[in-house]
Amino acid sequence: MLALYRKCPHLGCQIPPLCDKSHWFECLCHGSKYTILGEKRAGPAPRGMDRFPTSVGSDGQYVVSTGKKITGPPIGTATFDTRDTDKIPHCTG
């Protein structure tokens, strides 16, 4: 489970839900693009999307600790989606 903070690490714009075309998160303010895991692929952002710690409670429910942010992954992190940014359709320019 991964809980991404949908605030762009570039200048703090809210990142909308996944783009229907690319299946990535795309910042509408300055064009930063992130994979479904929040890894940065394009744009001016200094890193991937920040995230929140998660756990599973004793009752089996997922718990997201929004009081603490974890800094997003560094530029160049590519866990599985390594498509060329220029060769897939996007919601932003």
* Domain spans of the chain, in order of start: 1-84
- At 76 the pLDDT is 92
- At 67 the pLDDT is 94
CA distance 31 to 25: 10
- At 61 the pLDDT is 95
Along the 93 residues of the chain, how does pLDDT read in single tens digits?
A: 899 999 999 999 999 999 999 999 999 999 999 999 999 999 999 999 999 999 999 999 999 999 999 999 999 999 988 888 888 899 886
Beta strands in 16-82, from DSSP E residues, in sequence order: 25-26, 33-34, 40-42, 51-52, 54-56, 62-64
| 69 neighbors 52 (Cβ within 8 angstroms) | yes
| 8 neighbors 32 (Cβ within 8 angstroms) | yes
- At 80 the pLDDT is 85
Burial class (CB in 10 A: 0-12, 13-18, 19+), 26: buried
Residue type, 39: E
Q: Which CATH superfamily is domain 1-84 in?
A: Rieske [2Fe-2S] iron-sulphur domain (2.102.10.10)
